[in-house]
Structure 1
Amino acid sequence: MTDVHSKAVRSKNMAAIKDRNTVPEMLVRGALHKAGFRYRLHVTTLSGKPDLVFPRYKAVIFVQGCFWHQHQCAMFHWPKTRTEWWRQKISANRKHDEAVQDKLRELGWRVMLVWECALKGKHKVPLQQLTLDIAHWLRHGSSFMELPFA
């Protein structure tokens, strides 16, 4: 199956996809700030430029899109066009994510992934509960955590 868009239109669409300040990221940031947590954003000196960095807790949070990072949930599906290219692209994203997380943990940082499906869709977690889960993890959590819980 061929692409329904021209190369120029597809390029414009892809260029418009944001890698920071996304709606899910802004929801998490707003909820945590309202709960009294302070953080730094997209720290370039840390591997992977985490979305939120909590130096006080030696913790970072990545707000991940289910499609781009291949989360095994109802929101992820393989594209029907250019399947081999997409499999390579998304698999490379996964490998990069794992390497970044390993590197951060080696440096003593705790890592949390908040998946897009926790914030929208039919299986979303209420924002108040999500905030409580993140707060508990920041204060008492392990070296790695994902929301929603796997």
Structure 2
Amino acid sequence: MDTLSARDRSRRMALVRAKDSKPELVVRRLVHRLGYRYRLHRRDLPGTPDLVFPAREKVIFVHGCFWHRHAGCGLARLPKSRLDFWLPKLEGNARRDARNVRALRKLGWRVMIIWECQVRDLERLESRVRRFLDA
């Protein structure tokens, strides 16, 4: 049984960061250390990408595995309670992400998604980011 009131649940959800999350900060530090310069959260682009490389026409999203439904990832498991609330919310997030990626590609942007769980292996992540940005 869920003992939190709707107000308490709302307050907890407000603590979830849309910008400057720990995984995003790790990616930003990595990209900067590699010598790439970027813009943050351009609101004029679909989905407000986390990192934007205007001259390269490339963007990077750093997605939380739970919030964005990373397929096959243990961090993306569904909660045990209130599925009637969580399932439509999380599936809606995934649909919106797909729409934003399509819209960006239609505008000529190349898109990379970095999942929260991928931030743990910095060596592999560095290799992926270099390949994406240098291509």
CA distance in 1, matches of 2:92, 2:38: 29
1:132 matched to 2:131? The reply is no
Deviations 1:66-102 (A, max 9, x none): 0001102111111111102111001111110000000
Aligned twin of 1:5? 4
Structure 2 counterpart SS, 1:75: helix
Aligned twin of 1:18? 17
Deviations 1:37-73 (A, max 9, x none): 0000000110110000011211000000000011021
**1:46-85 → structure 2 map (5 Å cutoff):** 46-72=45-71, 73-85=73-85
Structure 1, unmatched stretches of 5+, are 141-150
Alignment RMSD:
1.0
**1:17-36 → structure 2 map (5 Å cutoff):** 17-36=16-35
Aligned twin of 1:110? 110
TM-score normalized by the length of structure 1: 0.85
Deviations 1:101-129 (A, max 9, x none): 0000000000000000112xxxx32x133
Structure 2, unmatched stretches of 5+, are none
CA distance in 2, matches of 1:84, 1:109: 35
- The structure carrying a bigger helix percent of its residues is 2
CA positional deviation for 1:25: 0.1
Structure 1 counterpart SS, 2:104: helix
Amino acid across the alignment from 1:99 = R
Aligned twin of 2:37? 38
CA distance in 1, matches of 2:90, 2:116: 16
Amino acid across the alignment from 1:62 = F
Structure 2 counterpart SS, 1:62: strand
CA distance in 2, matches of 1:130, 1:78: 26
CA distance in 1, matches of 2:134, 2:88: 37
Structure 2 counterpart SS, 1:21: coil
